[in-house]
A and B are shown apart, each in its own frame.
Chain A
Amino acid sequence: MNTNLKIGWFYPNQLNLYGDRGNVEILVSRAKSRGISVTVDEIDLETSLSETQMASINLVFMGGGSDLNQQKVYADFLQNKGSYLKNYLESGGVGLFICGSYQLLGNYYKLADGTVLKGLRFLDFYTEYWDEGKSRCIGNMIVKINPSLLSDPFFAANNNIGDTLVGFENHGGRTYLSENLSPLGYTTKEAGNNATDLTEGLLYKNTIGTYLHGPVLARNPHLADFLLAKSINVESLSKLDDSVLISAHEKSKKLKR
């Protein structure tokens, strides 16, 4: 058991859209409520990441960003930080990647103007901008969680919500997973990854990618606690009073798109 949590927050200044930084605030708050000591390492463009630093991190968070800010970080991400991150995630490190940063884990992201940003090629998927003239994927979203995550003992032990995630999607890119990759969950009528195959997000080992903002952890305490439990390797965390969050989660299912 490891009751020290170190969150590696990648590009807090460039990749923070729609209150995504709230995910870090929520993780820190929920960890502290359990008496877990938390530090947050902000890893920015100027940070020269080392193997030692990476080894001390047990939860990685990366938020969403505008196309322009994705362009600002992606070169540094691929050249200076990518290989550390790849090893970390491949060996089962816990990571949460939202929207723009989720896209950067794949093969490439083709922007609206045709520019192609190379991805980390950590996993086999790609993202392309919606055809010109089509609107962005915007709206409230309910996601049915992938059964393989639901049955993960670390998820099940901390699940006080059920089999759904709620949040808000707002993206221009459509993401296509290769056949051997699993999504985080499934949508019914919302766009999710690409508005065609009803998948949403990505689930690989302890890596989670998603288009959900809200921020995603705000009304999904089960997901927050899964990430915390995995990071410190404690299967079941002590219970918090989540009654308001549970009500908010339920109420969110009735929101207009």
Chain B
Amino acid sequence: MHYNVDMLWITSLFVKFLCWFIKTSRLGNGYTWPGHLVNKLFPAVWNSPLLHFKRGVILISGTNGKTTTSKLLTHLLLQNGNSVTHNQTGANMLSGILTSILLTTDFWGRTISDYAVLEVDELTLPLLLKRLHPQYLILTNLSRDQLDRCGEIDSIFAKWLKSFKELTDTCLLMSSDFAYRDEIFSIYKGDLLEFDSSPDFMKYTSLIGRFNALNVNAAVLAAQKIGIAKSNLQEYLSSFAPAFGRGEKIMFEDKSLFIFLAKNPASFNNNLQMLQDKDFSYEALLFILNDNIPDGRDVSWIYDIEPILLAEVCKGKNIYISGTRSLDMQIRLSYAGVKITEDLGDLSLSILANLPEKNIVVLPNYSAMLSLRKLVTGKNIL
């Protein structure tokens, strides 16, 4: 269907109205289905020249780290005085991305941002590359996650490779320990840069853990390529606050909850490694395991959590569990030699408030993290 660009203002107004309506009527987060409708009804919206960003588009994809990396880069650009369109709710498929873009437009539907910094779901990346032309593409990694949704990672990567072959003037920024590094090097025609996990820049932030060093270096490398002076980076980085649920500290009554999203083997093991390395004190760990649609129905992956590391991190702490699959977590912990203190059942404010510990590390998977945050902060993300 031919899309009349004059229609863009109506479309963007429609999206803005829907988002406002969903938000005020408390129907939910509402960042997915306005974009979904537009994408279905007017697929040609993607071709509209009005969606062209003045300074460029930066896409971030990979299994882990895309939320933190995109939030970091957005922060650096905002600090630098630029305006940025960013899908900060984490809605990272075509629909959510389209909603985010259309929300930051003027009355006529023209984008008002210098840059778009978008985190992109791994399966969505090839589809988005057909629609949006990025100046920079950051790849964090690719590992097992939600295999019942995504299929095998080899097949995801095959789709990536196919779509990368068509990119020529996109600068690719890639983690130096990316599993498929060699394959990309052999086919990629455009500029290719790598980032590593040196802690030089991370030390200016409140972030911890080797995996976060990779995220920081990815954002810093992109920022430097874009033209942000190295001398400003230290100041910009020091005012960065972690993304929701990614090493976030939430104060609740007399307690500090340290929330580390642990949604797949890689992120779970990374978090455990960090808890083992980092000298910060906590008296209890709370594991929340759900099997809702955004998490994947299959919880088998919890047996890819390193049992020795799990036991070491739990040693001497009180261990609590919750979530729709708490029993599975209890069994997994017991085979690693960890006894639970209590299954908290469905979490409530009074259950949390009555826990005797002051400092509690929470390792939730995705939907568990969202509901915990909503419970203790009283609101949805954004």
- Chain A interface (Cβ within 8 Å of chain B)? 16-22, 25-26, 29, 66-69, 136, 138-140, 168, 170, 213-215, 218-219, 244-245, 247-248, 251, 255-257
The listed residue (A69, A139, A245) touching B331 by CB distance below 8 A is: A245
Given that A22-B335, A26-B335, A170-B148 are known contacts, is A248 also in contact with B297, CB under 8 Å in the complex?
no
Q: B151 and A218: CB pair below 8 A?
A: no
Q: Check B335–A18 contact: CB distance below 8 A.
A: no
Report whether B303 and A219 are in contact in the complex, using a CB–CB cutoff of 8 Å. Answer: no
**B151 lies within 8 A of A136 (CB):** yes
Which B residues have a C-beta under 8 Å from some C-beta of A?
A: 144, 147-148, 151-155, 265, 291, 297-298, 300-304, 307, 327-328, 330-332, 334-336
Please indicate the chain A residues that have their CB under 8 angstroms from the CB of B328 in the complex. 218-219, 248
- Is there contact, CB below 8 Å, between B297 and A19? no
| Chain B nearest CB, measured from A18 CB (Å) | 4
Closest residue of B by beta carbon distance from A172? B151
A and B contact pairs by CB, cutoff 8 A, 22 listed: A17-B144, A19-B265, A19-B301, A19-B304, A20-B300, A22-B303, A66-B152, A68-B154, A138-B148, A168-B298, A168-B300, A170-B147, A170-B148, A213-B298, A213-B300, A218-B328, A218-B331, A219-B331, A244-B327, A244-B330, A248-B327, A255-B291
Identity of the chain B residue whose Cβ is nearest the Cβ of A242 in the assembled complex: B331
Q: In the bound complex, how far is the Cα of B332 from the Cα of A244, in angstroms?
A: 11
Partner of B301, one of A18, A29, A139: A18
Q: Does A170 contact B298, Cβ atoms closer than 8 Å? A: yes
Bound Cα distance A139, B300 (Å): 12
- The CA-CA distance from A45 to B137 in the complex, in Å, is 36
| A84–B331 alpha-carbon span in the complex (Å) | 35
Complex CA distance for A213 and B302, rounded to whole angstroms? 12
Pick the residue among B265, B291, B303, B307 that contacts A215 (CB under 8 A).
B303
When distances are taken between beta carbons in the complex, the residues of chain A under 8 Å from B335 are 22, 25-26, 29, 218
Q: In angstroms, how far is the closest chain A Cβ from the Cβ of B183? A: 12
Residue from B300, B307, B327, B332 in contact with A18 in the complex, judged by beta carbons closer than 8 Å:
B300
Roughly how many angstroms separate A218 CA and B302 CA in the complex, as a whole number? 11
Query: Could you tell me if A218 and B327 are in contact, using CB atoms closer than 8 angstroms?
Result: no
Q: If the complex has contacts A168-B298, A244-B330, are A19 and B154 also in contact, measured as CB distance less than 8 A?
A: no
What is the CA–CA distance of A217 and B164 in the complex, to the nearest angstrom? 41
**Closest beta carbon of chain B to A239's beta carbon, Å:** 16
Tell me if A19 and B302 are in contact (CB < 8 A): yes
In-complex Cβ contact of A256 among B153, B265, B297 (8 A): B297
Besides A67-B152, A170-B147, 20 more A-B contacts (Cβ < 8 Å) are A18-B300, A18-B301, A19-B300, A19-B302, A20-B300, A21-B303, A29-B335, A67-B155, A69-B154, A138-B297, A168-B148, A168-B297, A168-B300, A170-B148, A213-B298, A218-B328, A218-B331, A244-B327, A244-B330, A247-B327
